Structure 1
Amino acid sequence: MARPLIKVCGMTRMEDVRLCADLGVDLIGFIFHPASPRNADPDFVASVHTGVTKVGVFVKQSADEIIEIMDRCKLHAAQLHGGHDCDACEKIGPDRVIRAFWPQTYPSPEAMLRDMERYAEVCGHFLLDAGAKGQGGTGESIDFAMLQHIEIQTPWFLAGGLSPHNLDAALAVNPPGLDINSGVESAPGVKDAAKLRAVMDRIAALGE
């Protein structure tokens, strides 16, 4: 299979940012949600200059607020976890939007696909997360089996409790991207170097 894009989210420490850059992580995520234990300081995010794509994760902010933070922190993309509508996505810029969907909240995979179709022209990427809308970093995993037989046209990331222990099961559904957070941590916002290296070693092995 092709190597998926790897995004590591919940960054709060410069040493973790540097580790991700050294290991070849493609995208790093910073959470802008005060209720999260991984809430990021905008000044810290603005100070990050590694060449790795920077993504902001937003829940309650309006499109205007998101754009303001993106400009201040020099973010490349906005990951939307607040159920933002098509107008908000379009205002932020379709090529800069990663919109989250929660498969467990739909009665069927087909219902989720119909919802995704409405956003296909205003989102560059989708993200499939575990749990309910607005949650994240809970350590819960998606039922990978429900993704085996659906075809999502827009590039997408698979999230939800991904770790070295369930990585092979996640890869079996052939996701274009993986979003990893709590599964490579020793504490919220503190990445575990050994776990992160194990994930990246497994990803590197895909090309061998």
Structure 2
Amino acid sequence: MSLKTIVKISNVTNLSDARYCAGMGVDMLGFSMDADSPEYVEPTKFGDIRGWVAGVQIVGETTATDPEVIEQLLDTYQPDVLQIDEAALLPYLATFSRPDAELQLILRVDIEQLTLDQLESLFQTGITGADYVLLESQSPLHLEEELKATLQRLSARHPVLLGTGISVANVHTLLADLPVRGIALSGGHEEQPGNKEFGELMDILEAIEVE
């Protein structure tokens, strides 16, 4: 099974999502390592889920800004990829490596919080060391023409994962219009263990499936 672009699933909280997404051929599964997050996955559960999936990169997601806290999380979770929200941490974290491979880094950027000029400035000076820049927004975002033009410029030069404004109706158009490296979708909570309504996540993955 393969998909027509790189796909990261953020905020995975359960085995159902993880196994389904891995089976569909997604590239990265993200788990929140922050104990105060609603999507927090504690280390034992994380280890159990990780043991059931193969062929995907495991992303440890954190909003922490204290390097010592992040070091502890890395030691506990041992992810393949670390996702952070603070660009200033990139030079420090770029020196980290795991025993078997170099730690990859994703910088998550909330584009609602930045003007287009600030976004361009960040890409020019603040993303050195990031393997990917994940662009998200807290609320649904309409990609109007000015923003789309900015994203076209930035994603032509940098490894962007688009994590907002994606629907079944527009995913093919977005991938045709924007030279992004991939997209990011969010997992969710099970109503009860083993019973999950995937909804739009499933529809989008099926839409970009390569026969």
More contact order relative to length (CA 8 Å, sep ≥ 6): 2
1:143-183 Cα offsets, whole Å, 9 max, x none, are 3530334233221111136443543454332321111016x
Amino-acid identity (%):
18
CA contact (8 A) 2:61 2:83 kept: yes
Contact kept? 2:88, 2:126, Cα under 8 Å: no
Q: Equivalents in 2 of 1:81, 1:29: separation in Å?
A: 14
Measured after TM superposition, the shift of residue 75 of structure 1 is 0.7
Q: Which amino acid aligns with 2:137?
A: A
1:180 to 161, 185, 199: 185
Q: Distance in 1 between matches of 2:144 and 2:66?
A: 32
Deviation at 1:193, TM superposition (A): 3.1
Write the letter of the residue equivalent to 1:181: S
What runs of 5+ residues in structure 2 fail to find an aligned partner? none
Q: Residue in 2 aligned with 1:150?
A: 153
Partner Cα distance (1:162, 1:41) in 2: 29
Q: Give the match for residue 14 of structure 1.
A: 15
Match of 2:76 in 1: 72
Aligned to 2:94: 90
Partner of 2:126: 119
What does 1:29-40 align with in structure 2 at a 5 Å threshold? 29-40=30-41
Partners of 1:74 and 1:167 in 2: CA distance: 32
Number of equivalences? 194
- TM (norm. structure 1) is 0.77
Distance 2:142 2:47 in 1: 32
- Paired residues of 1:46 and 1:74 also in contact (CA < 8 A): no
> What RMSD, in angstroms, separates the aligned Cα atoms of the two structures?
2.9
1:68 Cα offset (Å): 2.9
The separation in 2 between residues aligned to 1:192 and 1:73, in whole angstroms, is 28
- Partners of 2:125 and 2:196 lie apart in 1 by 36
**SS of the counterpart of 2:13?**
coil
1:55 to 52, 59, 63: 59
Q: Distance in 2 between matches of 1:192 and 1:87?
A: 40
> In 2, distance between residues paired with 1:140 and 1:89?
31
What are structure 1's unaligned runs of at least 5 residues? 132-138
| Equivalent position amino acid for 1:140 in 2 | P
Cα distance between partner residues in 2 of 1:59 and 1:79: 8
Distance in 2 of aligned mates of 1:144 and 1:202: 23
Residue 30 of structure 1 and its aligned partner are, at CA, apart by: 0.3
**TM-score, normalized by length of structure 2?**
0.76
* Change in CA separation of 1:59 and 1:181 when aligned onto 2, cut-off 3 Å: same
SS in 2 for 1:151: helix
Q: Which has the larger radius of gyration?
A: 2
Q: 1:82 to 1:168 in 2, by over 3 A?
A: same
**Corresponding position of 1:99:** 107
Residue identity opposite 2:57 in structure 1:
T
